[in-house]
């Protein structure tokens, strides 16, 4: 591989590592491993509950209320999916209050 290509690859490897321990963005704090794992566990439990609620809905949604309920559950599932993805990373930063 050409030398200039090797030099271009080096910064990319550093970017993959993510922020270092002492590089906490301003206005945030690093979540401890215990907090991160506990939060992830709670998010997954909530997702399981929502999946059960979706399964209990009738196949044919004949009323507007049932359509709304399904849409709300699906929206919450999407939000949970993004949260689980975030908390699955090795380092999680949260905003300070």
Cα(27)–Cα(96) distance, rounded to whole angstroms? 6
Cα–Cα–Cα angle for 8, 91, 6, rounded to 5 degrees: 10
Q: Confirm if 28 and 97 have CB atoms less than 8 A apart.
A: no
Domain ranges of the chain: 28-88
In the chain, the N- to C-terminal Cα span, in Å, equals 49
- pLDDT confidence band for 8 (50 / 70 / 90): low
Can you tell me the distance from the alpha carbon of 33 to that of 85, in angstroms, rounded to the nearest whole number?
15
Q: Return phi, psi of residue 35, to 5°.
A: -65, -40
Residue 83 has pLDDT above 60, yes or no: yes
**Looking at the predicted structure, is the pLDDT value of residue 2 above 70?**
no
């Amino acid at each position: 591989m050409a030398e200039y290509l090797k030099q271009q690859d080096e910064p990319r490897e550093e970017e993959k590592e993510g922020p270092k321990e002492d590089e906490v963005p301003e206005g945030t704090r690093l979540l401890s491993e215990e907090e991160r794992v506990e939060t992830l566990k709670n998010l997954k439990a909530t997702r399981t509950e929502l999946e059960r609620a979706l399964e209990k809905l009738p196949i044919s949604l004949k009323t507007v209320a049932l359509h709304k309920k399904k849409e709300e559950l699906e929206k919450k599932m999407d939000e949970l999916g993004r949260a689980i993805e975030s908390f699955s990373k090795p380092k999680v930063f949260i905003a300070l209050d």
